[in-house]
Amino acid sequence: MSLGSLMLVARNRLRTDLSFEDASIMVMPGPEPAPYAGQKFISIYGTQWSPGELDLNEGLDEQYAFSCTLSVRSSVSPFDRYGNDQYVQDTIGMEDVLRSIIISLHQSCSLIGAWDTLMSGQGTEFPRWTRCDPVPQIVDGSWWKSEPDFRSSPEGAAGLVMSVDFGNARRMQSLVGDDSIQ
């Protein structure tokens, strides 16, 4: 599974490059964090597996995309008392983490080398940074698989979420004489 391998290599790269506990960076089925997630959690999940541009009569050209979503639990104070300054500070802090993810994964030689090794040298290309959320989204307790806490704020807000997307990762395979894929 090429996309799965790419996400595992990306997870390992982030675990090496970022100062997060290993359990706080996981390959997940979607953007939501694991229910046991702590203060910060990075979900890595696939968003695309599609044919590329090569003639499919000559081989397979596959393109992959994945996202990394940073979920941050809110501070102890309720959002209605949170204030604009605190939101801006949290946004800057989340942007810093996303920027570190971009630096770690965008056209990374170590990432592509590890993926190419897993894929037995079958011709892989770098994932490239394609976009980020412009601002964090406010989420309630259901994001962490818990009930919204309406005592802390009217909306039950529990945290903030931002994502960074990577695309154009590529795997190319040639067809061999017996019509099987190598």
Mean pLDDT of the chain: 81
Task: Enter the tokens of residue 61.
Answer: 């050209």
> What are the extents of the domains in the chain?
2-174
Buried b (16+ CB within 10 A) or exposed e, 32-48: bbeeebeebbbbbbbbb
Residue 162's pLDDT is 96
CATH of domain 2-174: 3.30.2000.30
Task: Provide the pLDDT for residue 150.
Answer: 46
Q: Do 22 and 33 touch, CB atoms closer than 8 A?
A: no
Per-residue pLDDT, 144: 85
pLDDT tens, 143-180? 988 665 544 544 556 889 999 999 988 877 776 654 55
Mean pLDDT of 52-66: 78
Averaged pLDDT for residues 108-117: 73
Q: Find out whether 8 and 46 touch, Cβ atoms under 8 Å.
A: no
H or E element at residue 170: strand 157-174
Least confident of 18-27, 79-88, 173-182: 173-182
Distance CA 137, CA 135 (A): 7
